[in-house]
């Protein structure tokens, strides 16, 4: 299945500056990431969405960017024209601080 980018997602990555550097880094491993991503949930179309959208498929994956583990949420929107549109968000995984009483 061929996956397309939402127009706004592509523009943000291309012209968004430092704010979107992590999103651009994910593009380098996108095909591999899609193969190993875990299905998270199925989402229905929101009333504010384009009428062409049927539903959303959401996936989670992890990737290392600049030696930091990043959590990636991948969204694939399936449209009535049979095309799938892709977007992703990157968030830093928060590391849990262990107290002196916590067993390791």
Which DSSP string corresponds to 7-57? Answer: HHHHHHHHHSGGGGHHHHHHHTTHHHHHHHPEEEEEEEPPTTS-TTEEEEE
In a domain, residue 67? The reply is: yes
**How high is the pLDDT of residue 49?**
87
In a domain, residue 30? The reply is: yes
Residue-wise pLDDT tens digits, 9-62: 777 777 877 878 888 889 888 888 989 999 999 989 888 888 899 999 999 999
**How high is the pLDDT of residue 41?**
92
**How high is the pLDDT of residue 98?**
54
Domain span at residue 61 reads 3-92
Alpha-carbon dihedral of residues 42, 47, 51, 57, nearest 10 degrees? Answer: -10
User: For the purposes of burial, counting CB atoms within 10 Å of the CB of 71, is it exposed (0-12), middle (13-18) or buried (19 or more)?
Assistant: middle
**How high is the pLDDT of residue 76?**
92
In a domain, residue 79? The reply is: yes
Helix, strand or coil, per DSSP, at residue 69: strand
In a domain, residue 102? The reply is: no
Reply yes or no on whether the pLDDT at 94 is more than 80: no
In a domain, residue 18? The reply is: yes
In a domain, residue 97? The reply is: no
**How high is the pLDDT of residue 80?**
93
Residue-wise pLDDT tens digits, 40-50: 999 898 888 88
Q: Which of 33, 55, 53, 52 is nearest to 42 (CA)?
A: 55
**Number of domains making up the chain:** 1
**How high is the pLDDT of residue 104?**
46
């Amino acid at each position: 299945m061929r996956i397309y980018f939402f127009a706004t997602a592509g523009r943000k990555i291309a012209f968004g500056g430092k704010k979107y550097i992590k999103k651009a880094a994910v593009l380098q491993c996108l095909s591999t990431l899609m193969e190993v991503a875990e299905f998270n949930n199925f989402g229905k179309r929101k009333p504010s969405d384009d009428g062409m959208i049927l539903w959303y498929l959401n996936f989670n994956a992890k990737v290392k960017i600049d030696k930091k583990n990043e959590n990636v949420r991948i969204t694939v929107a399936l449209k009535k024209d049979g095309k799938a549109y892709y977007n992703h968000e990157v968030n830093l995984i928060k590391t849990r601080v262990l107290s002196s009483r916590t067993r390791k």
